[in-house]
Amino acid sequence: MTLSFVLARRLTARNKRTSLLLSLAAVAIFAATAAAHAQFGAPPSGTQVHDPSVLKPPAGARVALVEFADYECPDCARANPLLKEAAAKYKIPWVRHDFPLPYHAWSFNAAVNARWLDTYSKALGEEYRDQIFANQTSIVSPDVLRQFTEKFAAGHGLALPFAIDPQGKFAEMVKADYALGQRVGIEHTPTIWVVTAHSKGAPFVEVVDRSKLYQLIDQAFADTGSAKPAPAKPASVKPPVKKPVSAKPAPAKPPVKKPVTPPAKSPASN
C-alpha cells in the first residue's frame, strides 16, 4: 500500500467527519432558531383554542382585548404600548392575564407584585405592569426587580413589605391565571384576542399580525353594531310598593236643615 493511498484514505475519512459535524451544527442552529421564534419572534399562525369560555368581554362591553403575557417576554414588552393605546382609543376593556413562563427568573414575582398593588387600586397595578414592560431590559434579576418595585411603591407613598404575599393568596391568583391559559391552549406569549359579545361574525379573533389590530377592532364593532352589550349582573331590585288607590270621594250632600220647634208658651198666671 503506497503512502499516497493511505494519505488519501485518511483525508477522505476526515472530510466525512467534518461534513457530519457541520450537519449536526446546522440542525442545532435550526432548532435554537425555532425555539427563539416561539418565545421572542412572530407567533404561530393561530392558537388552537380548547376552552373558549374566557374569550368574551366583561359584562356591559361589546368588544374587548384579552391578553396572556409574561413580564420577561420581549415581544410582550413590544406589544404593551400598542394594546394600551388601542384600549384607550376605542374605550374598550383590556383584560390582562398572567402567563409567567417557568424558565424566567423573575416574571412570576412581578405578577405577584402587581396583584399586591391592585389591592390599593387597579390603576396602580396597571401602571406597575406598564412600567415593568417599559424597563424590562434593565431588570436582570429578582433582586433588581425588588429594588425597582420598592422605588415604584415609594413614589406612590407606599412601603413595600418584606413579605409581599405571606399567605400566598396572590401567588395562587397568578397560578390560577396560568392554569386558565393552559385550558385555553396558550402556547406562546403574548397571545392576544379581540373578543366580542353577540357578534354576527366570529366571537373572538386572535391578533396574529399586530399591524392589523385596529382593523380587527373596527370589524368587531361592525359585527356587533346592532347587538346589545353583554348584560351586566343585575342588582337586587326591590319590588315597588303599591300605594292603595283611594276611591273618588262622593260629592258632599248639602246639610239637612232640621225644623226649629218654637219654644212652648208658659201658661198664663191666674
At 232, list the grid cell.
351586566
Pick the residue with more confidence: 97 or 7?
Answer: 97
- Relative to beta strand 94-98, strand 63-69 is parallel
Phi, psi of 68 (to 5 degrees): -115, 125
In the chain, count H helices and then E strands: 7, 4
Is pLDDT above 70 for 96?
yes
pLDDT digits (tens, 9 = 90+) for 64-91: 999 999 999 999 999 999 999 999 999 9
Mean pLDDT, residues 117-146 taken together: 98
- Res 223 pLDDT > 70: yes
Report the C-alpha gap between 151 and 134 in whole angstroms.
Answer: 15
Give the tens place of pLDDT for each residue, 109-121.
999 999 999 999 9
Q: Give the ranges where the chain is alpha helix by DSSP (H).
A: 3-40, 74-90, 107-118, 122-134, 142-155, 169-184, 213-223
Q: CATH fold of 52-223, please?
A: Glutaredoxin (3.40.30)
Q: Is the backbone peptide bond immediately before 190 cis, with ω within 30 degrees of 0?
A: yes
Instruction: Supply the pLDDT for residue 232.
Output: 54
Nearest to 86 by CA among 207, 184, 202: 207
Which amino acid type is present at position 132? I
